[in-house]
Amino acid sequence: MPVFQITEQSHDVIVDLKYGTLDNFTHQQIYDQSLCFLHNDAKVCFEKAIALAAQQGLRFKVFDAYRPQAAQEKLWEICPNPMYVAPPTSGSNHTRGVAIDLTLINSGGAELDMGTPFDDFTEDSHHGATLTKQANANRYLLLGIMMSAGWDFYQNEWWHYQLFNAKSYPLLANSYGIMTK
């Protein structure tokens, strides 16, 4: 199954995989290495999204992409809430390599205001939440770019996008060099 690494050099994005740091909702480092991978089908859609964002003078910051099964199990252990973390028994679309968590950044590298930070597990992070006019405009901009590039969205997380028919992709057994604790 073709899986490709996404780097700052290969795709003109910022890669800030939060689970490779302590700066995430768990306050634990889940990944030993912050390597960003996507299934080829997702990579093609992501490259379309990158081009569409560039037309607006924007870029992406990637918070998460492919996630090994061991990492999914650890996240579920910490937050067993299916509204925000997929149960490892059914598998995450991240573990299939067909989901990506991201935001838009401006030409100076600053994140656009999306109303909540990444991994804010409250109703304010849901699409359609009551937010400031600017935060709503930024979310709709992100949504428009991603859907125009072939991505589906997840209602409860403004940052999460996945391929349509994501569950039709198999779970990936290979960790692709991402070691998990």
pLDDT tens for each residue of 118-167: 999 999 999 999 999 999 999 999 999 999 999 999 999 999 999 999 99
In 3D space, the residue among 87, 77, 121, 81 whose CA is nearest the CA of residue 101 turns out to be 121
Give the residue-averaged pLDDT of 5-11: 95
Q: What is the largest CA-CA distance in the chain?
A: 43
CA atoms within 13 A on the CB side of 56: 16
CB proximity list for 177: less than 8 A, separation 6 or greater: 33, 35
Q: Looking at the predicted structure, is the pLDDT value of residue 181 above 70?
A: no
> Of 8, 47, 73, 157, which residue is the catalytic one?
157
Q: What pTM was estimated for this model as a whole? A: 0.94
Active site residue 157: yes
Give the residue-averaged pLDDT of 76-101: 92
Judge whether 70 and 76 are in contact, CB under 8 Å: no
Q: Looking at the predicted structure, is the pLDDT value of residue 1 above 60?
A: no
In DSSP terms, which residues pair with 111 in a beta bridge?
105
Residue ranges of the domains in the chain?
3-168
Neighbours of 90 (CB within 10 A): 11
Q: Looking at the predicted structure, is the pLDDT value of residue 176 above 70?
A: no
3-168: what fold? Muramoyl-pentapeptide Carboxypeptidase; domain 2 (3.30.1380)
**Helices in the chain by DSSP H: which ranges?**
8-11, 40-55, 69-78, 133-148
pLDDT digits (tens, 9 = 90+) for 42-65: 999 999 999 999 999 999 999 999
Judge whether 30 and 76 are in contact, CB under 8 Å: no
Residue 146's pLDDT is 98
Distance CA 107, CA 110 (A): 8
Q: Looking at the predicted structure, is the pLDDT value of residue 180 above 70?
A: no
Strands 99-105 and 36-39: unpaired
Tokens representing residue 91 in the block: 């598998």
Neighbours of 1 (CB within 10 A): 12
Residue 102's pLDDT is 98
Distance CA 128, CA 126 (A): 6
In DSSP terms, which residues pair with 64 in a beta bridge?
101
Residue 175's pLDDT is 67
Q: Looking at the predicted structure, is the pLDDT value of residue 77 above 70?
A: yes
Distance CA 181, CA 165 (A): 30
